[in-house]
Structure 1
Amino acid sequence: MKFYPFILLLFVYNICFSQAVPKEIEILKINASPVIDGVLDEPFWQNTDLANDFVMFEPGDGGAERNNKKTTVRVAYDDEAIYFGATLYDDTPDKVPMEFGNRDQFGNTDFFLISINPNNDGQNDTEFVVQSTGAQGDAKVANGDEDFTWNAVWYSKVKFNKDSWVVEIKIPYSALRFSTNVETWGINFFRRIHYINEKYVWNYIDKSKGEVTQYSGLLTGIKNIEAPTRLSFSPYASVSLTTFDGSSEFDQNIGLDIKYGVNESFTLDATLIPDFGQTAFDDLELNLGPFELQYDEQRAFFTEGTELFSKGNLFYSRRIGNRPVDRNSAEADLALNEEVTNNPDKVNMLNAIKLSGRTKKGLGIGIFNAITEKTTATITNTETDEKRNVVTESLANYNVLVLDQQFNKNSSVTLVNTNVTRNGSFRDANVTGLLYDISDKKNQYNIKGNFKMSNVKENGEISDGFSGFLELSKTYGNVQYSVGHYRNNDTYDIKDLGFINRNNRSSYFGEISYQIFEPSKHFNDYRISFESSIDYLNSPNSYTDNEFELDAFFITKNRFAFGGNMETNIGNLYDYFEPRVNGRYFKQKGILELGGWISTDYRKKFAYDIRVTYGKRYSSTENFISVNLSPRFRFTNKFQIIYDFQYSMLKNENGWVNQLDDASIIFGNRDVKTVTNSLSGKYSFTVKSSLSLSFRHYWSPVTYDQNFYALNNAGTLDTNAYVASHNINYNIWNLDLNYSWEFAPGSQLVALYRNNIFNKDDMSDLNFGKNLDNLFDESIVNNFSLKFIYFLDYNKMKTWL
């Protein structure tokens, strides 16, 4: 067992971050709040410092802003909020693009962005964006990743003048986390001028090294803030009607979300009796492989402000309220004349809380806890109508604890623990991880890694597992590279609250890339990279596969982008997971894959993306092709549609189909076709009111020929007399029609019509038209729902009394 957790000590000494002297702006304390109307006519605005002399961020690197498109920013504060007044000069304001979009949606518009870091730690920013249309966006930024699922309540207004447009902003302290005794905050300002394809920034950012958050300017002079209580409530009520196969079900729900500032740095979020009925549908797919598919989290409570909990990739929130762990057991112990009459496929969540924040010394603390209710299946005697219940999931508690110490604006050490405790004799699990991410004083080299331990208690037995990771990187300049090693053993198990494709793996990998940061003669940007890996089983130490990949992308001066990739394997590959039997493997040759793509300029009314991939297995008839075509058309600034077509055909693939009573492992030769049609459209009445459509039809027929094989001990296939039908015809149909109206800050009314159809049979020979006819023979689930959310701020509520 090889691990290197102490190599980080070589990097720890003498680590600090250095860069050019940052710009500064001093903030002005005011006694009366301005009217947020986009007009900077209050007298105090003329007494503030001015942030100006922006420099180019993209496509160039530090060039001066255009004389006719300069930007100035003024800043003030009181005990309630911090205020910004930005004047964005433009000698042709009629050319400023004005495509309407809702919150956090960035289309064909200009925008002004504020990036604030109250602790000035170089790693944790909060972004507030105002587009030229007036639409808002906000995000938490950690480790260079923007999380736009986070939303806060703040105020802004845009006003156009003959030679500029003005943005006036009020950000209440309830939207920020800060220490009251910190008088210098990190801050930066960005401006996008979309119609000339340029971005500017106030404090220069060296794109060749480090993260954007490490290049903040300084906001000085903040003193003695007497911030009000940070407490808000979001009560909600919903009603829904579902019809299916002639039956109807009416449901209603009320609940409450609470956000409380424990102090100036820490916030408690809680949801009571949550309602996820209007959560977006998943893009489900047919899974023929041995591993679970991972889907994105769609529930807002689990996506907002979770940057701390994502550390170490140990928290997969979809485990909470997922399928009961013993759902299949309901069918296992049926007596004569019994049948399962109700077997829920989801576990109800009773409540959940998040407590998170960061101290002035850089220690981030995150605590998450959720409780799900006991779930039972109902079994009915068909003769006596007597009913009995079988517990498929006990009362369960899910907990995540994160301690994240950041230092020197570019490094961190983190401890993560996840725990699932189920009532009674059900399975319990605990996982602990130690993570480190450390850069040198010049931000040129980085070492990152982790060590994780899992512990599972099930059926009276205890199983322990481990995982380790180490990567060394050069992180500056045109040429960057990294090498690393990842390893876990065959008992490493984090699936109770995390996600892992496979365990028992040992992998060595490396990458080298070349990228430009200043435009060249023909390109604004391009990057070429080569990466490779070689994998083994951890136990026994057996070679499994290798991979080599060459990637490239290019962006021209007129925003036409294109790229391609080549991927291949050398020699034989040994798949120890496709056979579904421990110790057995399937031996195959490698694959050569070639792909290319283009993407046109989204600023134009009509644009499109095209991607084509072809692959072939060496010394085999197995091959595949995939085509993805996605045109988009903007009819007006208020109406746009995007169509996405995906087609793939995998021919002559050998894959697992069954295991017989005599332990024979049966493989079949199959063709797998997948066709996906998706359509999304939106009509925006205003930036706060819109009607949107989301449609997806996924169709995947799988056809086996008459040849079946038995897997032998050498990993190859022998002809077998096995006969059975394993053809699959798999369909998923989803349609959402959604009206959303943000009638007040943080308050929303949503009306949703949804239908879905699912079909799985063996009619894989149907063509597309006949398959649709077959699909619509199935019953359609129709759902109508209405949800009302109202934001209540405690400080405003006090004024009502």
Structure 2
Amino acid sequence: MNEKLVAILILVALAKPVLAGNSDRTITAVRVDPPIVLDGFVNEPEWQRAPPALDFTQFDPVEGALPTEVTSVRILYDDHALYVGVICYDARPGEVVPQLTRRDRTSEADRFTVQIDSYHDHQTAFVFSTNVSGVQSDGVLSQDGNVYDITWDAVWNVKTRWYIDGWSAEFEIPFNAIRFSPQRGESYEWGINFRRYISRKHETVEWVIVPRTEKLQIPHWGHVQGIKDISPPLNLSLIPYLSGTSMFESSTGGVPARSSHEALAGLDLKYGLTRDFTLDATFNPDFGQVEVDQAVLNLTVFETRFPEKRPFFVEGAQVFAFGTSVDNTSLPLFFSRRIGKRPSLAFSVAPPPGGSIEENPLVTTIIGAAKVTGHSGSGLSVGVLTAATDREKAVIRDSQGNRSEVMTEPEGSYNVVRIKQDMKGNSWFGGMATFASRAHTLPAFSGGFDWNLRFSQGTYTLDGFIAGAHSSATVTKRDGLAGKILFSKIRAEHWLYTLSYDFYTRYFNSNDLGFFAQPHDHGGYVQLGYRETQASGILRRYSFSVVPEARWNWDRVQTLGLIDATWSADYTNFWNTVLEYKLNLRAHDDAERGIIGIYRRPSSHSIIASIRTDERRNVIASLTTEYDFDEKKRRTFSTFLSLTLRPASWMELTPLAYYERTRNLETGVFSGGRIVSVSYAGGLYSLFAQRDLDELDVAMRGIITFTRTLSLQFYSQVLLARGKYDDYKLLLSSRQFVQQVAPSPGYDFNQIVFNANLLLRWEYLPGSTLYLVWTQGRFDNVGDYSRPFGTRLQDAFKLPHEDVLLLKVSYWLPL
């Protein structure tokens, strides 16, 4: 009797699916010697010695139903690697959906995923996935399986094959790609789960299904047994690199065009200090970002947070997360982009009359960085990171040709320590400390404790943190505290709720090495939600929630009063809609938002609607529209459209467009990163006006994939924004103004930003990569609001520009 027939009989015989809680399900791994030949065919005699896992259950579209296709999984191992062989049977193999794309990109294709909790801590896991085209994806699950970090990369291999009954795959996962504690004299037991996705049916099946009503994922997986007489490898690998960078700046304002060229060599090192802890170090690193940040219009006093993209800091970033809770918020005491940031005084450099700026570095050079991360057998997680940055100088030439240097960033040292101890019931308690020191400035410290405590078999959680910071700011008061406490029911069939309170004292500032960009205030919210995961009719599932929230400053002035109601639904045609209504009650802006004194904001209403079409199609659309209005006759309309186009299985294009139109907004006049202040009657007051705003942001992302290891990515963006201020006035009190003559020149603006990025990526050997990158940036701002977007768009390619060309080659050298 063949395997497929056996599997069908098993499925028919199943009276009920294996749901969360039945985590006693096991699969046995069998030792092989010599190792199998990795070719994608699961037909060697060794595979037949391993018992198969056959009984999968639907997770989607019908949770708990029997799968429509048969899946078989077997596991082998030797001294060096774990091998997973999977056969994805399909009654219509010609309809299996392929897609060729770059590693770690989500693809709409048939795929199979292996998830391994090798620490067996029920909180973290390593993920290895392939689609039918053999495109690899890997990452790390944390927070019980609710947070996925796809930026983690390991060196492993997989081969796939099509054949008459479907497709198959062979995974080779070296033991140095995962982490586990040594087990002496006994066999290892690791958590494991398998997931298969059938694209044309939008069907996901799992070996052990964890229902959507379960917040905890990893604790309910099955286990792999039978692995013994192996040890965690004390691996050592080196990745030397060579890079060359050329920068070109076009002439502007009478300053002639200039160019610069730089060649670098450096080394990355990974070394297993013990069976539990690994050292990552980098010497003379090339930390230039190969992908540009998206340009945004920021008309607030708060800093915009851009994501980290540098591999050294991206890998293992979840270890250094602090204050994370089930509402997906955190307090970033460590924000890695502070290391190697743009020099603090770079914008203040100005040439003397008749002179010029010859050099003005855009980033701070990182001399070296190192981190130690790991997880002990007792459940202790540790992360230690240190980095040193060099002194940066701008070079200025005066009218006589004399050169001089101006320091724009002093030498710096940055250090982080993070520990977290697992506890019973999938709970944990942790601590963190940071220290930043720069020459000629005061040192800065921050630290705190955080926790995640689970009760009643994971039904309830008590999350929170308490933290303090001592900043380097040259002010009298440099110390502050922050804290949060959250209680939530996270496991239920229908009704869920959350109660949360947090605070940030007046002088809390963790920005020397962290990220804090919000008011110093306190407040909380209550969330009540209802969900139906197995709906009927045209609905597959839906949810509804109501969230009242209120906040106050430390003078007992209310700064936020909000009621938010949201409805979300998934349909049987695999479309999704979201409807949201927000009522902002009258509240106040204060000094935390850049205001001198107090300003009472009018009450306002927001209506938001979004729709997303079936993600299996070659054309996917997502549309979000919002309409806002307040009691002072402000009106805002905005819409965001995203399309995904797949003209071929090896090409994907994503055009994006955002448009916003605001009329008659009463607001502070914003210029140079702050709200303008004006002297009046012996005092200083904030300047207000009625602002009209138009914004158009158009972008295009795309990827062409030539092979599994060779791809070309591109990104371009044009951001157009113009604002006009009328009816100027000074804010005397929360509701009292005095009219002000329009200043000359005014504060109207008409901005254009153009960014372009082209990235050729070739993984010519496992772990070894060649990058060829081109980026271009253009920017212009004039005060003429009347110039329409069409004219400004024509100006884009006439503007001065800066081009960067980068070639980088790295080579993975395992020792």
- 2:646 is the counterpart of 1:634: yes
Q: Which residue of 2 aligns with 1:422?
A: 438
Equivalent residues in 2 for 1:12-161, closer than 5 Å:
19-66=21-68, 69-143=69-143, 144-161=146-163
Q: Which residue of 1 aligns with 2:461?
A: 446
Deviation for aligned residue 1:341: 5.8
Deviation for aligned residue 1:309: 0.7
Q: Which residue of 1 aligns with 2:539?
A: 523
Of residues 201, 215, 240 in structure 1, which corresponds to 2:206? 201
Q: Deviations over 1:663-695 (max 9, x none)?
A: 132112211111011112222112222222211
Deviation for aligned residue 1:439: 0.8
Q: Which residue of 2 aligns with 1:358?
A: 375
CA gap of 1:294–1:21, structure 2 versus 1, over 3 A, is closer
Contact 2:357 2:394 in 1 (8 A): yes
Q: Identify unmatched segments of 5+ residues in structure 1.
A: 1-17, 795-801
Give the distance between the partners of 1:43 and 1:228, measured in 2 at CA: 28
Q: Which residue of 1 aligns with 2:807?
A: 786
- 2:745 is the counterpart of 1:745: no
Q: CA RMSD in A?
A: 2.1
For 2:428, give the aligned amino acid.
S
Contact 2:425 2:454 in 1 (8 A): no
Give the distance between the partners of 1:763 and 1:738, measured in 2 at CA: 36
Q: Which residue of 2 aligns with 1:770?
A: 791
For 2:789, give the aligned amino acid.
F
Deviation for aligned residue 1:337: 9.2
Give the distance between the partners of 1:311 and 1:71, measured in 2 at CA: 39
Deviates more, 1:140-149 or 1:749-758: 749-758
Give the distance between the partners of 1:656 and 1:356, measured in 2 at CA: 46
Equivalent residues in 2 for 1:650-669, closer than 5 Å:
650-657=662-669, 658-662=676-680, 663-669=684-690
Q: Which residue of 1 aligns with 2:13?
A: none
Deviation for aligned residue 1:534: 0.4
CA gap of 1:94–1:563, structure 2 versus 1, over 3 A, is same
Q: Which residue of 2 aligns with 1:233?
A: 238
- 2:276 is the counterpart of 1:265: yes
Contact 2:31 2:77 in 1 (8 A): yes
Of residues 247, 260, 282 in structure 2, which corresponds to 1:249? 260
For 2:142, give the aligned amino acid.
A
Deviation for aligned residue 1:509: 0.6
Q: Deviations over 1:696-737 (max 9, x none)?
A: 1111111122x2100012344321124231111111111122
For 1:86, give the aligned amino acid.
V
Q: Deviations over 1:64-86 (max 9, x none)?
A: 223xx111111111111111111
Of residues 504, 528, 536 in structure 2, which corresponds to 1:488? 504
Deviation for aligned residue 1:243: 2.0
For 1:76, give the aligned amino acid.
L
Contact 1:546 1:573 in 2 (8 A): yes
Deviates more, 1:317-326 or 1:590-599: 317-326
- 2:599 is the counterpart of 1:576: no
Contact 1:240 1:785 in 2 (8 A): yes
- 2:728 is the counterpart of 1:708: yes
- 2:319 is the counterpart of 1:308: yes
CA gap of 1:667–1:716, structure 2 versus 1, over 3 A, is same
Q: Which residue of 1 aligns with 2:706?
A: 685
For 2:732, give the aligned amino acid.
N
Q: Which residue of 1 aligns with 2:424?
A: 408
Equivalent residues in 2 for 1:363-378, closer than 5 Å:
363-378=380-395
Deviation for aligned residue 1:264: 2.4
Contact 1:587 1:716 in 2 (8 A): no
CA gap of 1:140–1:409, structure 2 versus 1, over 3 A, is farther
Contact 2:599 2:733 in 1 (8 A): no
Contact 1:278 1:785 in 2 (8 A): no
| Percentage of identical aligned residues | 27
Deviation for aligned residue 1:380: 5.0
CA gap of 1:579–1:451, structure 2 versus 1, over 3 A, is closer
For 1:314, give the aligned amino acid.
L
Q: Which residue of 1 aligns with 2:365?
A: 348
Deviation for aligned residue 1:490: 0.5
Give the TM-score normalised by the residue count of structure 1. Answer: 0.92
SS of 2:471 mapped into structure 1: strand
- 2:340 is the counterpart of 1:317: no
Give the distance between the partners of 1:254 and 1:82, measured in 2 at CA: 35
Give the distance between the partners of 2:285 and 2:333, measured in 1 at CA: 23
SS of 1:301 mapped into structure 2: helix
Contact 2:272 2:279 in 1 (8 A): yes
Contact 1:79 1:227 in 2 (8 A): no
Deviation for aligned residue 1:503: 4.0
Q: Deviations over 1:445-492 (max 9, x none)?
A: 111111001112454956211011001101112111101101111111
SS of 1:311 mapped into structure 2: coil
Deviation for aligned residue 1:739: 2.0
Give the distance between the partners of 2:475 and 2:796, measured in 1 at CA: 46
Deviation for aligned residue 1:525: 2.1
Give the distance between the partners of 2:108 and 2:349, measured in 1 at CA: 53
Q: Which residue of 2 aligns with 1:287?
A: 298
Deviates more, 1:491-500 or 1:298-307: 298-307
Give the distance between the partners of 1:152 and 1:599, measured in 2 at CA: 33
- 2:669 is the counterpart of 1:649: no
SS of 1:723 mapped into structure 2: coil
CA gap of 1:601–1:196, structure 2 versus 1, over 3 A, is same
SS of 1:664 mapped into structure 2: strand
Give the distance between the partners of 1:744 and 1:57, measured in 2 at CA: 36
Contact 1:180 1:224 in 2 (8 A): no
- 2:549 is the counterpart of 1:544: no
SS of 1:712 mapped into structure 2: strand
For 2:639, give the aligned amino acid.
V
CA gap of 1:698–1:124, structure 2 versus 1, over 3 A, is same
- 2:573 is the counterpart of 1:558: yes
- 2:216 is the counterpart of 1:211: yes
- 2:486 is the counterpart of 1:471: yes
Q: Which residue of 2 aligns with 1:6?
A: none
For 2:614, give the aligned amino acid.
D
Give the distance between the partners of 1:704 and 1:48, measured in 2 at CA: 73
CA gap of 1:433–1:278, structure 2 versus 1, over 3 A, is closer
Contact 1:121 1:407 in 2 (8 A): no
Give the distance between the partners of 1:607 and 1:374, measured in 2 at CA: 48
For 1:289, give the aligned amino acid.
T
SS of 2:794 mapped into structure 1: helix
Give the TM-score normalised by the residue count of structure 2. Answer: 0.90
Contact 1:123 1:409 in 2 (8 A): no
For 2:511, give the aligned amino acid.
K
Give the distance between the partners of 1:44 and 1:409, measured in 2 at CA: 39
Q: Deviations over 1:639-682 (max 9, x none)?
A: 22121111001111222222124413211221111101111222
Q: Deviations over 1:357-392 (max 9, x none)?
A: 101111100011111111233455545x55444433
SS of 2:777 mapped into structure 1: strand
Deviation for aligned residue 1:327: 4.5
Q: Which residue of 1 aligns with 2:170?
A: 168
Deviation for aligned residue 1:52: 1.9
For 2:610, give the aligned amino acid.
W
Deviates more, 1:602-611 or 1:125-134: 602-611
Deviation for aligned residue 1:233: 1.6
Q: Identify unmatched segments of 5+ residues in structure 2.
A: 1-19, 251-256, 324-331, 670-675
Deviation for aligned residue 1:566: 0.6
Q: Which residue of 2 aligns with 1:720?
A: 740
Deviation for aligned residue 1:581: 4.9
Give the distance between the partners of 2:519 and 2:475, measured in 1 at CA: 22
Of residues 162, 184, 191 in structure 1, which corresponds to 2:189? 184
Deviation for aligned residue 1:340: 6.4
Contact 1:189 1:201 in 2 (8 A): yes
Q: Deviations over 1:281-322 (max 9, x none)?
A: 111222221211111112222212211112232211111111
Instruction: Give the number of equivalent residue pairs.
Output: 766
